[in-house]
């Protein structure tokens, strides 16, 4: 009986009654689930109505105030609408928690004022430095031993099919990484500076110093305000091709860079003066397209001699384009594929028993790379896995000057590597590489030759004591095809590398 | 054909550029928060008006996140970027923002919000720091979201920013802010106290250290919220793995005796743990608190030597099954602390 009346009452609900009825219903403990459901919906509706009502009354109050003002001005004796006379003239508060709402707003303000003053008292007296020039120095020392009588760095420079590139006059290029002695060595000291220039540009530079020389590894001015996902960079740039090309030596996962980089791009990778335009496509997954125009002063990709009998070419003489695609995977996985194309004008001279051959033509390099990262979400890289591989194929088409004959070389190389974080801060890694799987070289005197491949296997163990220091051990076994036949060797490296100052964060 | 690659790329660029320009702008506001807690609070303020995502998942150590191309894609489309700040994201925020090429969210732009702007900071260095001290943050300890009062402040900071950027939704943001704050206040003090005094007043007195005088004016006790739960144990020392819980523990007057890490970011050493075990016995420490992503071995060893209980709780929303929201995350760890502190016989 009571339930029935309640239902009826609810159905003909009026806002004023609702407040009374809901608690009443609760005390009676309605038996059916239905009723509870109805009560919930209704109390929800009541809440909504309350809100609307409060808003409506506030609106009416504003109207009333406006009307009153009008009335006072006009001194006309028209009666206000009957419904509104019941509302008190004093400023009205919303129906729900009446006066506290006002004081609670004050409470809010007092709370924030109190916090602000206490926070101000806690801040250090010295102001935050205004200009942020991030400067960092990387010191990278290592102990090296190999069991080859000539030394591994010598072997690297006499790989069959690749050694010609080093025959030309090397003057003006003193800064050689590849000369490593058995015993203690210091890799070039790396000084990095970076800062925002103004609202339009950021800039960074990396300077490399060693005992004999210094070199600008990178000096980049990059736009920071171009629209449509475009970024333009100018200066001396580490090309965006491949996966590792952009990485500085302190960021490599192994002590040394892969053989294919040594052979195709030299000790510093593909770095040159020029322009780079990249575009981040508005796709639902990561797509980056880039194109670069470089001056073309690069000993292995775009060597320029330019004096008689070579034809003269103004820069840019080296062009690249690259594409990177990163599909959207779940939180623990990341994958990126890359494709690269490099084309450079290339000139070489080769001395042969009193006479010189002059070659002029093009290098074309096609590259593909892939990297997969597994993030175990454990501290300091524990359980993380990185798999990475790159492949490059080079077509070198040169014309023998004063002869007109074409010489075509077709060569390639790749590496595959895996890293695993077996403890916090500790990683093991393995790398397998081959250079010259295809190694077809057209020689002036010996005609078409097909050299074998050089193979190398490396095992690596590194320990990041902190974010800023690293100890690494590496053992490498190599079997190289050299001009004097196959050579085998073992190589051991113990490396200590530290970073001081503020170094910009590394990207993917 | 001298530069075929360049021409192909140029053609591709042109078509893609056209498609980019033609792309219709999505209707809702897109917000990227660096952490799950910021994302959760932002969602509470925005309701259905925005799509909010976060960079971290709550399961990792937010200091050392590995960059992924997907982050760049999220940042590219964001209208607002919300970060914890105080250098928490220093290892990965820069490249994401730069590579996103999104001018709206760069540092200094209106769409870049540092949520630490108004928060109460702890561990702000008072003298020059060096890296020999470990991972000391020059702007103070960045785990400030673990103080519920800071969560309340952050909500207001975010709401203010949203009102500035989208004044047309001002009323909704402000209403949602009130609802969130009310929800948080009810969790903290329990509904009776909040109804009696109002949340802001309770917080102000708690922050001043005078809440007992305020509570004495009503006959409601310490309330049935987090405050009431932990108030009986005020003054009990706690040991934590990393100096990440200081905000939460200070708020509830549970002093941190020491961390298991001898220096911030430096793994526990045997010698440090041995000394710590002695100190813990002296101070009768009953609770060791750490995050799930740290190895438990050292904590278990320490617990055995000191008769304390190890409790493992996520310090971020979505960091564990219970931490379904920012408030649920706090609730879980506070109840965990309460259980461990109220348990006289240590768990095995």
- Tell me the pLDDT tens digit for each residue of B22-51: 444 456 899 999 999 999 999 999 999 999
CB-defined contacts A:B, below 8 A = 172
pLDDT at residue B128, rounded to an integer: 82
Nearest Cα residue in chain B from A322:
B9
User: How far is B249 from B237, CA to CA, in rounded Å?
Assistant: 9
Antiparallel, parallel or unpaired: β A385-400 and A406-423: antiparallel
pLDDT at site A198 = 87
Q: 3-state SS of chain A: helix, strand, coil percent to 5?
A: 20, 45, 35
**How high is the pLDDT of residue A124?**
57
Mean pLDDT check: name the lowest of A155-164, A247-256, A496-505, B98-107. A155-164
| Residue B281 scores a pLDDT above 50 | yes
Overall average pLDDT of the A332-347 stretch = 94
Minimum distance, in Å, between the CA of residue B91 and any CA atom of chain A? 5
Which pLDDT band holds residue A63 (cuts at 50, 70, 90)? confident
Q: Given B9, B67, B124, which is nearest A507 (Cβ)?
A: B67
pLDDT band at A100 (very low <50, low <70, confident <90, very high): low
Quote the CA–CA distance of A472 and A496 in Å, as a whole number: 6
pLDDT on residue A206: 94
Distance from CA of B282 to the nearest CA of A (A): 31
Residue A171 is predicted with a pLDDT of 36
Contact A380, B64 (CB under 8 A): yes
Looking at residue A78, its pLDDT comes to 45
State chain A's mean pLDDT as an integer.
82
Instruction: Give me the CATH topology for the region B225-342.
Output: Rossmann fold (3.40.50)
Q: In a mutagenesis test of the B interface, which of A379, A381, A384, A465 is the best target, namely the one with the most B β-carbons within 10 Å?
A: A379
Residues B64, A379: C-beta atoms closer than 8 Å: yes
Which range among A348-352, B204-208, B287-291 shows the weakest confidence by mean pLDDT?
A348-352
Q: Is the pLDDT of residue B21 over 70?
A: no
Does position A176 have pLDDT exceeding 50, yes or no? no
Q: Which residue has the higher pLDDT, B267 or A48?
A: B267
What pLDDT is attached to residue A165?
41
Which of the four pLDDT bands, split at 50, 70 and 90, describes residue A101? low
Residue A103 has pLDDT above 90, yes or no: no
Mapped onto helix, strand or coil, the DSSP state of residue B107 is: coil
Q: Tell me the average pLDDT across A483-497.
A: 92
Confidence of residue A90 (pLDDT cuts 50, 70, 90): very low
- The residue of chain A with its CA nearest to that of B21 is A228
Mean pLDDT, residues A231-237 taken together: 96
| Residue A103 CB-half CA count within 13 A | 10
Q: Name the CATH architecture for the domain at B25-168.
A: 3-Layer(aba) Sandwich (3.40)
The tokens 């203010």 sit on which residue? B160
Identify all chain A residues contacting B67, using CB atoms and an 8 Å cutoff: 505-508
Burial of B95 (0-12, 13-18, 19+ CB in 10 A): middle
Domains of chain A: residue spans and CATH: 2-90 (no CATH), 136-501 (2.40.160.10)
From the list A441, A347, A426, the residue with the least C-alpha distance to A383 is A426
The predicted pLDDT at position A153 comes to 85
**Greater confidence, A175 or A429?**
A429
Q: What is the pLDDT of residue A129?
A: 57
pLDDT score of A83 more than 50: no
* pLDDT(B78) > 70: yes
**pLDDT on residue A178:** 56
The residue-averaged pLDDT of A341-361 equals 88
| Nearest-CB residue to A124 (from B99, B126, B266) | B126
Q: How confident is the model at residue A130 (pLDDT cuts 50, 70, 90)?
A: low
Share of chain B above pLDDT 70, in %: 91
ipTM over 0.95: no
Which pLDDT does position A95 carry in this prediction? 40
pLDDT of residue B276: 92
User: Residue length, chain B?
Assistant: 348
How much is the pLDDT for B40? 96
Q: What distance in Å separates residue B308's CA from the closest CA in chain A? A: 24
Contacts of B149 in chain A (CB under 8 A): 115
| CB crowding A404-416: b at 16 or more within 10 Å, else e | eeebebbbbbbbb
Write out the two tokens for B9: 């790329």
Closest to A379 (Cβ–Cβ): which among B77, B93, B293? B293
Question: What residues of chain B lie within 8 A of the CB of A329, using their CB?
Answer: 70
Cα A456 to chain centroid distance, Å, stands at 29
pLDDT digits (tens, 9 = 90+) for A2-51: 454 455 444 444 434 343 344 444 444 445 567 677 677 777 777 777 77
Start-end ranges of CATH 3.40.50.1980 in chain B? 25-168, 225-342
Lowest mean pLDDT among A291-295, B49-53, B262-266: B262-266
Q: Say if residue A483's pLDDT is above 60.
A: yes
- Which chain A residue shows the shortest CA-CA distance from B16? A281
C-alpha B110: how far from its chain's center?
Answer: 22
- Give percent of chain A above pLDDT 90: 47
* Pairwise pLDDT comparison (A323 vs B28), residue with the higher score: A323
Taking contacts as CB-CB distances below 8 angstroms, the residues of chain A near B14 are none
Q: How confident is the model at residue A81 (pLDDT cuts 50, 70, 90)?
A: very low
- pLDDT value for A504: 76
- Kind and range of the H or E run holding A77: none
pLDDT given at position A57: 75
Q: What is the DSSP string of A180-213?
A: --SEEEEPPEEEEEEEE-SSSEEEEEEEEE-SS-
pLDDT tier at A60, thresholds 50, 70, 90: confident
CA distance B326 to B332: 10
The C-alpha atoms of residue A134 and residue A193 are separated, in whole angstroms, by: 6
pLDDT reading at A174 higher than 50: no
A417-431: pLDDT as tens digits: 999 999 989 999 999
Residue A172 has pLDDT above 60, yes or no: no
CA angle A462, A467, A473 (to 5 degrees): 15
Distance from CA of A435 to the nearest CA of B (A): 25
pLDDT band at A158 (very low <50, low <70, confident <90, very high): confident
Q: What pLDDT does residue B178 have? A: 95
Q: What is the pLDDT of residue A416?
A: 97
In B, minimum Cα distance to A506 occurs at: B95
Q: Which residues share a beta bridge with A184?
A: A143
Question: For residue A215, how many other CB atoms are within 10 A of its CB?
Answer: 17
Residue A10 is predicted with a pLDDT of 46
Q: pLDDT value at position B14?
A: 56
Residues A332/A377, Cβ–Cβ less than 8 Å: yes
Cα(A261)–Cα(A245) distance, integer angstroms? 8
Name the residue among B9, B16, B68 with its Cβ closest to that of A508. B68
Contact B61 A282 (CB under 8 A): no
- Average of per-residue pLDDT across B300-317: 92
Residue with tokens 């009374």: A20
Average pLDDT over residues A162-172: 48
pLDDT of residue A13: 42
Closest CA to B92 of B114, B57, B63, B131: B63
Mean pLDDT, chain B, rounded, equals 88
Q: Are B155 and B16 in contact (CB under 8 A)?
A: no
Cβ contact, residue pair B76, A373, below 8 Å? no
Question: What pLDDT is recorded for position B344?
Answer: 60
């Amino acid at each position: 009986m009571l339930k029935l009346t309640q239902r009826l009452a609810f159905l003909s609900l009026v806002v004023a009654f609702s407040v009374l009825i809901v608690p009443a219903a609760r005390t009676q403990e309605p038996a059916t689930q239905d009723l509870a459901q109805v009560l919930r919906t209704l109390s929800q509706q009541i809440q909504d109505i309350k809100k609307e009502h409060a808003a409506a009354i506030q609106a009416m109050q504003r109207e009333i105030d406006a009307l009153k003002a009008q009335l006072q001005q006009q001194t006309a004796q028209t009666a206000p609408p009957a419904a509104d006379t019941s509302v008190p003239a004093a400023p009205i508060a919303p129906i729900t928690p009446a006066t506290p709402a006002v004081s609670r707003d004050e409470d809010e303000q007092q709370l924030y004022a109190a916090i602000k003053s206490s926070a101000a008292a806690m801040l250090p007296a010295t102001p935050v430095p205004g200009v942020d020039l991030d400067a960092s120095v990387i010191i990278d020392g290592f102990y090296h031993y190999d069991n080859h009588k000539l030394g591994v760095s010598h072997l690297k420079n006499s790989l069959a099919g690749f050694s010609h590139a080093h025959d030309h006059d090397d003057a003006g290029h003193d800064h050689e990484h590849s000369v490593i002695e058995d015993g203690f060595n210091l890799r070039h000291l790396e000084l990095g500076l970076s800062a925002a220039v103004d609202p339009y540009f950021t800039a960074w530079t990396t300077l490399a110093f060693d005992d004999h020389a210094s070199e600008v590894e990178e000096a980049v001015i990059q736009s920071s305000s171009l629209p449509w996902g475009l970024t333009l960079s100018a200066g001396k740039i580490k090309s965006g091709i491949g996966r590792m090309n952009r990485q500085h030596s302190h960021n490599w996962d192994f002590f040394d860079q892969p053989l294919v980089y040594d052979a195709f791009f030299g000790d510093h990778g593909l770095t040159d003066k020029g322009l780079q335009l990249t575009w981040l496509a508005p796709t639902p997954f990561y797509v980056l397209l880039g194109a670069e125009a470089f001056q073309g002063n690069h000993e292995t990709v775009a060597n320029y001699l330019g004096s008689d009998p070579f034809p003269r070419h103004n820069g840019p003489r080296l062009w690249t384009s690259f594409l990177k695609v990163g599909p959207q995977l779940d939180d623990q996985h990341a994958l990126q594929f890359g494709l690269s194309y490099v084309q450079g004008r290339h000139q070489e001279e080769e001395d042969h028993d009193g006479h010189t051959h002059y070659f002029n033509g093009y290098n074309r390099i096609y590259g593909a790379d892939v990297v997969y990262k597994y993030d175990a979400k454990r501290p300091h890289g524990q359980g993380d896995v990185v798999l990475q591989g790159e492949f490059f194929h080079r077509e070198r088409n040169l014309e023998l000057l004063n002869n007109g004959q074409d010489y075509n070389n077709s060569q390639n190389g790749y590496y595959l590597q895996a890293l695993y974080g077996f403890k916090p801060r500790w990683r093991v890694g393995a790398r397998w590489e081959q250079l010259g799987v295809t190694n077809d070289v057209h020689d002036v005197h010996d005609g078409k030759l097909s050299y074998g491949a050089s193979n190398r296997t490396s095992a690596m163990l590194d320990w990041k004591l902190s974010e800023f220091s690293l100890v690494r051990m590496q053992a490498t076994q190599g079997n190289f095809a050299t001009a004097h036949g196959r050579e085998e060797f073992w190589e051991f490296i113990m490396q200590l590398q530290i970073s001081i100052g503020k170094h910009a964060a590394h990207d993917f | 054909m001298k530069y075929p690659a360049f021409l192909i790329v140029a053609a591709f660029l042109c078509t893609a550029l056209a498609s980019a320009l033609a792309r219709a702008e999505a209707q809702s506001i897109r917000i990227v928060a660096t952490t799950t807690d910021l994302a959760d609070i932002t969602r509470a303020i925005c309701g259905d008006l925005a799509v909010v995502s976060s960079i971290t998942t709550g399961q990792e150590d937010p200091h050392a996140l590995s960059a992924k191309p997907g982050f760049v894609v999220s940042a590219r489309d964001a209208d607002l970027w919300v970060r914890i700040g105080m250098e928490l994201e220093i290892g990965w925020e820069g490249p994401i923002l730069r590579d996103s090429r999104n001018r709206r969210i760069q540092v200094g732009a209106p769409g870049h919000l540092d949520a630490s702007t108004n928060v109460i900071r702890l561990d702000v260095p008072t003298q020059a720091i060096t890296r020999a001290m470990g991972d000391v943050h020059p702007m103070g300890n960045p785990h400030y979201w673990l103080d519920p009062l800071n969560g309340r402040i952050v909500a207001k900071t975010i709401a203010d920013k949203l009102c500035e950027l989208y004044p047309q939704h001002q009323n909704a943001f402000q209403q949602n802010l009130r609802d969130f704050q009310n929800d948080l206040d009810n969790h903290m003090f329990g509904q009776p106290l909040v109804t009696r005094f109002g949340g802001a007043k309770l917080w102000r007195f708690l922050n001043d250290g005078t809440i007992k005088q305020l509570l004495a004016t009503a006959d409601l006790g310490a309330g049935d919220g987090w405050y009431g739960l932990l108030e009986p144990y005020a003054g009990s020392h706690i040991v934590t793995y990393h100096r990440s819980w200081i905000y939460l523990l200070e708020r509830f007057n549970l002093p941190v005796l020491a961390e298991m890490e001898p220096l911030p970011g430096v793994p526990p050493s045997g010698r440090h743990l041995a000394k710590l075990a002695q100190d813990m016995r002296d101070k009768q420490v009953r609770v060791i608190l750490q995050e799930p992503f740290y190895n438990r071995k050292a904590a278990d060893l320490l617990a055995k030597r000191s008769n304390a209980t190890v409790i493992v709780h996520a310090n971020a929303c979505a960091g564990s099954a219970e931490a379904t929201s920012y408030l649920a995350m706090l609730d879980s760890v506070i109840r965990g602390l309460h259980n461990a502190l109220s348990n006289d016989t240590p768990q095995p």
